[in-house]
Structure 1
């Protein structure tokens, strides 16, 4: 929308439901563009996501994530797509989630669009969303596809036989479509404010595979599904992402004509394995086989109906589907335990309960889930259907909408038999640039599976071009890691797409973002060999230039810097995200470190500012601010809020943006004042929340006094006192300085152990010090200036030479703070040694991005073979910052980098060179080389007007050359 123009469009939707679950809806508006039209500006917003086409040409996708009450909209210049004097069509696919996710708060289905047609800047015509638009539910999309994960929306199931892509063309006949329903004018709730996109549209580029990793003949299992038990037990949970505890059962009947052996599988029992009974007999845990989290058990079925009883009681279900598979050599079917399903909307499953239900919010008081209900206890004896009559009021059919038609993830990781084959040379055409296709082999009574390697981690949209017979099923399953005979399957992430082919040549671009390196492609039910002309990922990321650079005499450090930069880019979307595969979530605390890494690799400030501004929107959930935003999960990690406040100060210092300090100061003060109210009688922060810092066995209980949180709050109070002065609030600055000192004194008094000469991890509920001492706690106490004089010396010793009993650093995220401490001490040798040791493991194991956890650290893993959960996680990309800041030695010494210091630290390197972006534009280049023992040659190039204080490292002499760009 042009500056100064007002919204004339209305929000529109279609169908009978305001917020249907997982609905894709097509919208069209055709019009004749006036002659003389030479420009067009189109502004658009949607709930939840849109894909835009103009005259059949790709327009863009969005909108940027936002709180519903401050709905983001995008604006496109589309004049080059408009045909003056001719018929034109705007076509929009709107994907409405109908459930809250970790990156979306449920609103209702809606589309808002306004296009202004211009001639030499003069308005000729305005096209707006209104009742003249046509709409239809996308006929080929399956709304029963399962959730991808508790963090995300839905996986994708497309039947190309039912829905043509021609609907985006201006020549398509939409006369049979319904007229759109007008919801209300711009400003209608829940989208009460509309805010223009404050960052550029994301970049997209095509990335092609590097090789076909494997080819297999696979025999599929008979049946699989995913059941959204959480939504069945608590229908209102669609409005939020808080964990739900519930007590209850699921049941179904397995019908066979003759006696049979059936394998029941729970291929993703990472957090919960239901209790199982068949025909009144419990299945013992010892009967299961399979390597966790995959659990399988053989059941003997009698002829006729077999009653399957599942105890699905869950302490805290975050929204993970119950994934089920069944396989038997004999035909079977599932039917309702109470006769045929009631109506076409009912599945063969019923729920019994819930007999109790609680919503779990970590920062609010709550009661524990009760499993003592008489009905629940009586039904643990595994009744028959006839015995359930007195529990009729507890029994509900599970609707088909909560039971997927299939489970592609299960079908991809569980097969009856598989045979590995050599990859035919001609199959390379499936991934090369040749116009000839790769012909996928066809097997009798079996499917064909091939795994394609893209060569590096990617984040974007799958696209393919193929020729097939109608009804051929092509399953795509993206994952991140395989090595030798080990494939790391994405448990808790259904990263799949099922595409059912129409007849002939066809192409498809998925509108669902995915992260992956490998794609398993499985062809099922083909009547003739499928021809694959091409497979690609439309890599999507925030548009940045590779301004930062680093090279040195150690090739390993160069590789480590490269994967750090690549990780950061992949985790820059419309916000920073933790990982492009599992979550795609803006975690507030992660982004503090990610912002610093970005400053040194890409130099962007707009995305950082956007992220910082989103956080106070969680005030409606909690005055303590949520740890991921915008999100339906109201969860608090106090450190994450503290890191956000620190990041605001760091942004102001980095960009020299005093007005941003003025803007953010009231929001910072608001939440820190609420945290100050959470102190106990000792003056220490004592809080209920997710009191996290590191994936390590440090003592950080979710209730009470945790040392690292108190220390970080102390530092935050110090930092924001300086921010208050920039924001012209000297009284606030004095208040927070005084609070910081009071808190520091309380931490030293109550959390220091004279016996261990160290800070304990926490206080127990009885007021005694924890027995657990960790490097993490000492690092935080040192960085935050808690310990002074003799205590500081002891803390430094524990950081560099920790006692054997101290818990060690457990994640690359915590390593960022560890490296900050080492740099402040001047121990650059240990900083590089740790980097080589831990990140070097990743490189050795083939990493192309930084992993969430260290390969040798087994906490929070599904099995010992699993080297990490996420293989691309920007909280881990610390080398992208520290190699530039300390090996090159480039750091600011004034706000806005008007003055800088260049102080290289060679350690054991012979040379290094590289660049760091300057926030005002341009870059700083540094090159240094050891020319003789203790003699260094340094060259520094800076933007004009930037003052550089160049210092040789202690004990070195040499020459310094300076120049300006």
Structure 2
């Protein structure tokens, strides 16, 4: 009966939270300080470490059991503590490291999957934790052991390896299974997409203070050694390539004080509030009798996310559920007789700095940009994810959008996560098929969504344009060509439909499959052609295919827009892709604009490309109006992240692909985008149609580009910070007869230009006067266009 009541209470709480909220308009802004300088661009290290002396260790079991937590200890004597010492560590699946009772690594390791057979290792500086004399190294290792999931490749055998000079994991270590972590048949099971299990911890079965240097582990068994690093089944060990997780420390919830000191007479659900949706591990400190069950969950639990159960021991105690979940509202089910002493959470996340900004007078746009940023960040950890709750999977359509968002919002550390994802994708190619997998790593069979992979090829070109990393382009070129050659062009000069593992165009409705697929195919061909030109490769075959598709696509044109016979009316996604791929000529723009003004088939994933098309056609106000209309509910809702679909009740509440407006606002409304690879040349072309002030910061690989753009009824002012070793093409909104000043000196008046060494007049174009600024070092510019 108690289980039934507990379940009923949880369901009531969930649906109350799910359908409640929203309320009156509330605007959201992340609180952050942009770093003084941009971080250095780095290339991913993909060289495996092969000189291992350490061995994989576990207890004396065969290591195949699912959801096992193992405690490992090693005591070492050090005559003189070193000034620096790097530990090389890997585990299947995760580990927490402690030295002399002090936490060193929280949630270490990266989900397996550089290839289908291999693993990653961490590099950790441990010298600050060592001392002269006795030192005790402890590791808590969690083996997931789920061979079917969407984000991890199971080796089939638990293992932990540690090497720091002469300190190596071997049979001299002590091992003991942590009996407090239970593997309950139903309570521990998460949904099939996740490799992680739910946490079920029984404090009455604890081993004692085993992390203490003084703990007596003499009754523990010696570890069993199972082979040196690089051996099967764990395979080669590649550097993780991405930063260790950022630990923000334990924090009070916004309403923790409301419950401190309380003891409830009957079971009670309490919901703790965080300032935003975050990746976290919940913490509780209580005074309780033995055997009370505390459940901890979020709104996302009912969509398949993980949850926690804690069984109390007698007396004062504290517990932190180490398996992370995410949420903005964390619910604790507190039994009667339990006194709450503290309620906290630990936020952890990918180590990257919020480095971009967009602000204007419209708080709805500002909120949408900031929610997009928060959505991007919560979908980053071991890999870019579609969502941090239901799947945590690296779907490549999502990754392509996330990469573009990171270029306008995060520091260069974020680029490593994309590079790691690409390297994993390339590492999973079967040479017998040449298929680029859409979800990698994955504990399933090959998984391909063809249109997402075509989008991914286009994303390779985008990444090169923003970073200038020619080596990256060289690394993906052959795989892109091989994949594009899997399609066959038929007698109608259109591709034969490729279903892949999942015949999916978009979540939205009325998808014009023929028009969408062929536009993506042409767009990918265009990207490969561009890659070939950069790399000095022959693109004749690619160009032939482009010409064929262009001829075939022309047959889809009607007086109302592009449309195949599969649909009754033109689809917004197909027509948008026709624009951004280059299939649509400018004489078709007005018709296509009408389609995009009247048709709303796209999901938030494809909406990004619809908005991009409107901006490429110069329909900026239309793009802004459509953006505000379609995202209206997400903007006004109390959720701090964006939903998977247009309704919060039909998908996840934190889906990466929904953040495209962040790119649109910085790239087109503020007007900052590269025109040559690596920002050696870029444009600043503001699109402000009504009096407003727009502030935007873009963390380019050359340094920050910062603008403040102010439009009044009679003038336009542009303050810009231009990084060194770049050429900025400045489009200054201008009306005939106005005077243009630069840094308070007249440079253009009555058709006359006062040329300087580094500033040249390019010309006039569609309401702009255009200047070229060559900056050998960081340069501050103050342009004014004012009436005489």
Aligned to 2:427: 617
SS at match of 1:59: strand
Distance 1:961 1:565 in 2: 34
Aligned to 2:611: 819
Aligned to 1:148: 190
Distance 2:592 2:669 in 1: 25
Deviation at 1:680, TM superposition (A): 7.8
Compared with structure 1, are the counterparts of its residues 671 and 5 closer, same or farther at alpha carbon in structure 2 (3 Å cutoff)? closer
SS at match of 2:65: coil
SS at match of 2:733: coil
Aligned to 2:716: 936
Aligned to 1:455: 275
Distance 1:900 1:715 in 2: 22
Is residue 496 from structure 1 mapped to residue 307 from structure 2 by the alignment? Answer: yes
Distance 1:683 1:945 in 2: 44
SS at match of 1:815: helix
Deviation at 1:10, TM superposition (A): 1.4
Distance 1:471 1:960 in 2: 76
Q: Please say if residues 19 and 107 of structure 1, whose CA atoms lie closer than 8 Å, have aligned partners that are also in contact.
A: no
Compared with structure 1, are the counterparts of its residues 514 and 741 closer, same or farther at alpha carbon in structure 2 (3 Å cutoff)? same
Aligned to 1:534: 343
Compared with structure 1, are the counterparts of its residues 810 and 799 closer, same or farther at alpha carbon in structure 2 (3 Å cutoff)? closer
Aligned to 2:773: none
Deviation at 1:577, TM superposition (A): 1.3
Q: Deviations over 1:878-902 (max 9, x none)?
A: 2221111122211112111011111
> Which gives a bigger RCO, structure 1 or 2 (Cα 8 Å, sep 6+)?
2
Aligned to 1:641: 453
**Pairwise mapping of residues 182-261 of structure 1 onto structure 2 (< 5 A)?**
182-206=225-249, 208=251, 210-212=253-255
Deviation at 1:676, TM superposition (A): 2.5
Q: Deviations over 1:838-874 (max 9, x none)?
A: 333223221211222223xxxxxxxxxx544222222
Compared with structure 1, are the counterparts of its residues 788 and 830 closer, same or farther at alpha carbon in structure 2 (3 Å cutoff)? closer
**Pairwise mapping of residues 480-495 of structure 1 onto structure 2 (< 5 A)?**
490-495=301-306
SS at match of 1:636: coil
Deviation at 1:647, TM superposition (A): 1.4
SS at match of 1:952: strand
Deviation at 1:958, TM superposition (A): 6.2
Deviation at 1:682, TM superposition (A): 5.5
Is residue 578 from structure 1 mapped to residue 386 from structure 2 by the alignment? Answer: yes
Aligned to 1:694: 506
**Pairwise mapping of residues 942-957 of structure 1 onto structure 2 (< 5 A)?**
942-953=722-733, 955=735
SS at match of 1:518: strand
Aligned length: 689
Aligned to 1:722: 530
Q: Deviations over 1:697-735 (max 9, x none)?
A: 2246xxxx6321121011101111111232332x2x222
Compared with structure 1, are the counterparts of its residues 944 and 211 closer, same or farther at alpha carbon in structure 2 (3 Å cutoff)? closer
Deviation at 1:770, TM superposition (A): 4.0
Is residue 964 from structure 1 mapped to residue 784 from structure 2 by the alignment? Answer: no
Aligned to 1:882: 664
Compared with structure 1, are the counterparts of its residues 652 and 960 closer, same or farther at alpha carbon in structure 2 (3 Å cutoff)? farther
Q: Please say if residues 679 and 686 of structure 1, whose CA atoms lie closer than 8 Å, have aligned partners that are also in contact.
A: no
Compared with structure 1, are the counterparts of its residues 137 and 4 closer, same or farther at alpha carbon in structure 2 (3 Å cutoff)? closer
Compared with structure 1, are the counterparts of its residues 175 and 614 closer, same or farther at alpha carbon in structure 2 (3 Å cutoff)? same
Question: What residue ranges of structure 1 are gaps of 5+ in the alignment?
Answer: 118-125, 213-426, 431-436, 481-489, 762-767, 856-865
Deviates more, 1:790-799 or 1:579-588: 790-799
Deviation at 1:941, TM superposition (A): 0.8
Distance 1:176 1:569 in 2: 45
Deviation at 1:47, TM superposition (A): 0.9
Aligned to 1:85: 133
680, 687, 699: which one aligns with 1:905: 687
Aligned to 1:388: none
SS at match of 2:475: helix
Distance 1:570 1:505 in 2: 33
Q: Deviations over 1:562-601 (max 9, x none)?
A: 1111221222213221122222221111111111111011
Is residue 519 from structure 1 mapped to residue 330 from structure 2 by the alignment? Answer: yes
Distance 1:669 1:760 in 2: 28
274, 294, 298: which one aligns with 1:474: 294
Distance 1:900 1:603 in 2: 18
Q: Which has the larger radius of gyration?
A: 1
Is residue 780 from structure 1 mapped to residue 577 from structure 2 by the alignment? Answer: yes
**Pairwise mapping of residues 556-575 of structure 1 onto structure 2 (< 5 A)?**
556-575=364-383
500, 515, 518: which one aligns with 1:707: 515
Aligned to 1:324: none
Aligned to 1:366: none
Q: Deviations over 1:162-193 (max 9, x none)?
A: 02462222222222222222222222123321
Compared with structure 1, are the counterparts of its residues 590 and 170 closer, same or farther at alpha carbon in structure 2 (3 Å cutoff)? same
Compared with structure 1, are the counterparts of its residues 155 and 910 closer, same or farther at alpha carbon in structure 2 (3 Å cutoff)? same
**Pairwise mapping of residues 274-423 of structure 1 onto structure 2 (< 5 A)?**
none
Aligned to 1:49: 94
Distance 2:263 2:742 in 1: 61
Q: Deviations over 1:793-816 (max 9, x none)?
A: 53343223x3xxx5x234222111
Aligned to 1:597: 405
Is residue 735 from structure 1 mapped to residue 541 from structure 2 by the alignment? Answer: yes
Deviates more, 1:954-963 or 1:36-45: 954-963
Is residue 63 from structure 1 mapped to residue 106 from structure 2 by the alignment? Answer: no
Q: Please say if residues 204 and 312 of structure 2, whose CA atoms lie closer than 8 Å, have aligned partners that are also in contact.
A: yes
Distance 1:623 1:772 in 2: 36
Q: Please say if residues 698 and 706 of structure 2, whose CA atoms lie closer than 8 Å, have aligned partners that are also in contact.
A: yes
Compared with structure 1, are the counterparts of its residues 648 and 494 closer, same or farther at alpha carbon in structure 2 (3 Å cutoff)? closer
Distance 1:583 1:823 in 2: 33
Aligned to 1:851: 643
**Pairwise mapping of residues 750-765 of structure 1 onto structure 2 (< 5 A)?**
752=556, 754=558, 757-760=560-563
Deviation at 1:688, TM superposition (A): 2.2
Distance 1:960 1:651 in 2: 36
SS at match of 2:210: helix
TM-score by structure 1 length? 0.68
Q: Deviations over 1:657-692 (max 9, x none)?
A: 11111222222222222x235868865132223232
Compared with structure 1, are the counterparts of its residues 669 and 535 closer, same or farther at alpha carbon in structure 2 (3 Å cutoff)? same
Q: Please say if residues 671 and 687 of structure 2, whose CA atoms lie closer than 8 Å, have aligned partners that are also in contact.
A: yes
Distance 2:685 2:193 in 1: 43
Distance 1:792 1:555 in 2: 30
Deviation at 1:127, TM superposition (A): 1.5
Distance 1:770 1:815 in 2: 19
Deviation at 1:515, TM superposition (A): 1.1
Distance 2:91 2:577 in 1: 43
Is residue 655 from structure 1 mapped to residue 698 from structure 2 by the alignment? Answer: no
Q: Please say if residues 615 and 626 of structure 1, whose CA atoms lie closer than 8 Å, have aligned partners that are also in contact.
A: yes
240, 252, 263: which one aligns with 1:440: 263
SS at match of 1:75: strand
Compared with structure 1, are the counterparts of its residues 98 and 181 closer, same or farther at alpha carbon in structure 2 (3 Å cutoff)? farther
Deviation at 1:817, TM superposition (A): 0.2
Deviates more, 1:953-962 or 1:898-907: 953-962
Aligned to 2:754: none
Aligned to 2:37: none
Deviation at 1:494, TM superposition (A): 4.5
Deviation at 1:791, TM superposition (A): 5.1
Q: Deviations over 1:59-91 (max 9, x none)?
A: 212312341533110011011111222242232
Q: Please say if residues 52 and 229 of structure 2, whose CA atoms lie closer than 8 Å, have aligned partners that are also in contact.
A: yes
Q: Please say if residues 134 and 177 of structure 1, whose CA atoms lie closer than 8 Å, have aligned partners that are also in contact.
A: yes
Q: Please say if residues 66 and 143 of structure 2, whose CA atoms lie closer than 8 Å, have aligned partners that are also in contact.
A: no
Aligned to 2:601: 809
Q: Please say if residues 89 and 123 of structure 2, whose CA atoms lie closer than 8 Å, have aligned partners that are also in contact.
A: yes
Name the Cα RMSD after superposition. Answer: 2.6
Distance 2:159 2:483 in 1: 34
Q: Deviations over 1:33-59 (max 9, x none)?
A: 233533322111111222222222212
Compared with structure 1, are the counterparts of its residues 176 and 131 closer, same or farther at alpha carbon in structure 2 (3 Å cutoff)? same
Q: Please say if residues 269 and 334 of structure 2, whose CA atoms lie closer than 8 Å, have aligned partners that are also in contact.
A: yes
